[in-house]
Structure 1
Amino acid sequence: MLIKDQIVLVTGAGRGLGSELARAFAREGARLVLNYRSSESTARDLVAEIGADRALALRADVADAGQVAALVATATEHFGTPITTVINNALPDFSFNGDARAKAEGIDYTQFGAQFTGVIGGALNTIQATIPGMKEAGFGNIVNIGTNLFQNPVVPYHDYTAAKAALLSLTRTFAADLGPENIRVNMISGGLLRTTDASAATPEEVFELIAGSTPLRRVTSPAEFADAALLFASPWSRAVTGQNLVVDGGLVMN
């Protein structure tokens, strides 16, 4: 299925990387369901930017299965056809400040639990809510947003990194389970992006250090990262599933 014929749900689309993911799909002609939890004004601004005929902003906490089911039902009714592509981008609350994060001897399991609920629980809820529509359409794409930190753990984001690593496992087991239904499940993993809400406070010298460590000699932008999602949603990757594509300028090589 061509991207222009797809209904794409982007979770956490109200700001940061989520907005760039939505813009990438909009540029290719897709119709968008822009999920947000607290960024209503920016999500609605994005609808105005894309066009109200092609984008719909809906609030839901993806960790709440009931809210996600209601979102999917509303979106399906609005567009008159099922959601065929899900981009699991939403994050639970997290402070991306390496100096302030708890080290190994001090981190509490409740912090891990919060990340697992948001990252794994959120992805599980969106996938399960959209599987019936994907089966009806005979086609489905799920793209989970990961991190290169579980291959290159340069900051002590223990809880966040563990949840994203578990999301990779879910990506692969769900790819095996859903493949017979022509539903593909893949992951895109990035590192520091220039610039999102998460990296806004990052010192310039850190950006320079990362850029100098990559073969491309630059820090990946949110727009560059978002473009990679188009590959997994396009017919060009119709035989690709269960994969993790690292998009960080070559900092981490598989």
Structure 2
Amino acid sequence: MQLSDQIVLVTGAGRGLGAEIARAFSRHGARVVVNYRASKDAAEALAAELGGPERAIAVQADVADRAAVEAMFAAAKAAFGAHVTTVVNNALDYSFNGDARAHLANIAWEDFEKQTTTVLKGALNVIQVAAPDMADAGFGRVINVGTNLFQNPVVPYHDYTAVKAALLSLTRTACGDLGPAGVTVNMVSGGLLRVTGASAATPEPVFDLIAGMTPLRSVTTPAEFADAVLFFASPWARAVTGQNLVVDGGLVRD
């Protein structure tokens, strides 16, 4: 299915990386569901920017709430007259600040639970609600947003990294269940992005240090990351599933 024929739901799309992913799909003609939890004004402004109710809608839902996710998919179908074909699990509640991070000696299990609820439970809810319509149509694209930190934990964000690693495992197991129905499940993993709300607390020298370690001598931008997400939704990735593509300027190479 061409990108222009797809209906794409991006979780956590009111700002930052999610907003750039929504813009990237919209530029290629897709209709977009801009999911948000609390960023109402930003999400509605983005939906208007992307063409208004015929091309993009903003829908509030906490992805950890199964009933809210079901209502969001129903709202998308009502708005566009067809089901969601493509989902990008991007929702995140985290701040990347190495100086303020919880260290192994004092991190609480509740920190892991918080990330598990948003990242892993949220993705599971979205996939489970999306899958039946995708299977009926014989086409679906699930793209999960990961991190390069579980391959190269240059900053040990214990809770965030552990849960993103679990999301990669879900990516690789879910593709086996959904593949026979024509649904692919893949992950795009970035490093530190320049700049999102989550990375805004990162000191400028850290950005410069990471840039100097990459072959491209730059820190990946949200727009560059979004381009890679488009690949997994495009016809060129029709035979690709269960994969993790690292998009970080070449910092991680394995």
For the superposition of Structure 1 and Structure 2, which TM-score range results when normalised by the shorter chain? over 0.9
Shift, 1:77, TM fit: 1.5
> Which amino acid in the other structure matches residue 90 of structure 1?
A
Tell me the residue number matched to 2:224.
Answer: 224
Gaps of 5+ in 2: none
AA at the equivalent of 2:216: L
Q: What's the offset of the Cα at 1:132? A: 1.3
Paired positions, count: 253
Instruction: Give yes or no for contact 1:82–1:137 (8 Å, CA) kept in 2.
Output: no
- Percent identity reads 67
Equivalent residue number for residue 200 of structure 1: 200
Q: Does 1:58 align with 2:69?
A: no
Q: TM-score, normalised by structure 1?
A: 0.98
Q: Describe how 1:122-201 pairs up with structure 2 within 5 A.
A: 122-201=122-201
Instruction: Please state if 1:94 is matched with 2:94.
Output: yes
Matching residue's letter, 1:68: V
For residues 92-115 of structure 1, give each alpha carbon's deviation from its aligned partner in whole angstroms, at most 9, with x where no partner exists. x32321111121111111111111
- SS of the counterpart of 2:26? helix
| Most deviating of 195-204 and 11-20 | 195-204
1:48 offset after TM fit, Å? 1.2
Q: Which residue is equivalent to 2:103? A: 103
Residue by residue, what CA displacement relative to the aligned partner does 1:13-60 show, whole Å, maximum 9, x if unpaired? 000000000000000000001100000101111111111110010000
Secondary structure in 1 matching 2:142 = strand
Structure 1 counterpart of 2:21, one-letter code: L
| Gapped regions of structure 1 (runs ≥ 5) | none
Match of 2:214 in 1: 214
State the one-letter code of the partner of 2:211: A
The residue number in structure 2 matching 1:47 is 47
Does the aligned pair in 1 maintain the 2:95–2:201 contact within 8 Å? no
| SS of 1:239 mapped into structure 2 | coil
Mapped partners of 1:48, 1:31: distance in 2: 12
Q: TM-score, normalised by structure 2?
A: 0.98
The aligned counterpart of 1:239 is 239
Whether the 8 Å CA contact 2:187–2:244 is kept in 1: the answer is yes
CA contact (8 A) 1:102 1:156 kept: no
Counterpart AA for 1:245: L
How much does 1:206 deviate? 1.2
Give the CA RMSD over aligned residues. 0.8
Instruction: Give 1:14-25 correspondences, 5 Å limit.
Output: 14-25=14-25
